[in-house]
Structure 1
């Protein structure tokens, strides 16, 4: 991958990173943590205990997803800095440009990603 292509992907990754961080800040109402936000949002006396528990679980699931997104973006930016961006972290093959255009944080080629997902499926 040439330096021009890498620079474009770096900008995309930085934009994604800013968007996720802004989304987190907006959802949390500033700098408070997800647990505190959940307590504030879902601690109303009219809510049932089951509703509160469900809403908190959703908050924590969203937090986990956003944390994974940020980790993937950070890892991709590290691969750019190490000049290994665009190489599959499993097999070393080039990741298709089309895949990186859709998911610039991708760390695996399609074959390796399919293999990982297949292994994660139950049964």
Structure 2
């Protein structure tokens, strides 16, 4: 897919990137670090210890998920610049436009993605 064809997907990716960066910044307390934000957020003496631990783990898990999503978006933007966007990174076939509109950061066609997910499921 050339850059002209990829332009609508590029815009979707840039929108996702901006939203993710804003969300991560808000979760991390803006300009302060994640550790400081967590200490401020979870340091209330009236909160039960188990609740604090659960909330902290949930927040870090969400942060990791959003960081991974941001990395996938950045990688997709690099594929647009390289002229390989829309090609499955595993088998080289074209990824359908419907899949890219639904998940513009998708690196694989549906078939290859299903294989990866099946392998991950069996590894667990």
TM range (shorter): over 0.9
Conserved? CA contact 1:35–1:60, under 8 Å? no
Written as runs of structure 1 = structure 2, the 5 A alignment for 1:10-89 is 10-89=10-89
Match of 1:5 in 2: 5
Match of 2:98 in 1: 98
Q: Which runs of 5+ in 1 are unaligned?
A: none
Match of 1:108 in 2: 108
Conserved? CA contact 1:9–1:104, under 8 Å? yes
Q: 1 or 2 for the larger relative contact order (CA 8 Å, sep ≥6)?
A: 2
Report the CA distance between 1:16 and its aligned residue.
0.5
Equivalenced residue count is 123
CA distance in 1, matches of 2:102, 2:14: 15
Q: Which runs of 5+ in 2 are unaligned?
A: none
The alignment yields a C-alpha RMSD, in angstroms, of 1.3
Report the CA distance between 1:2 and its aligned residue.
4.0
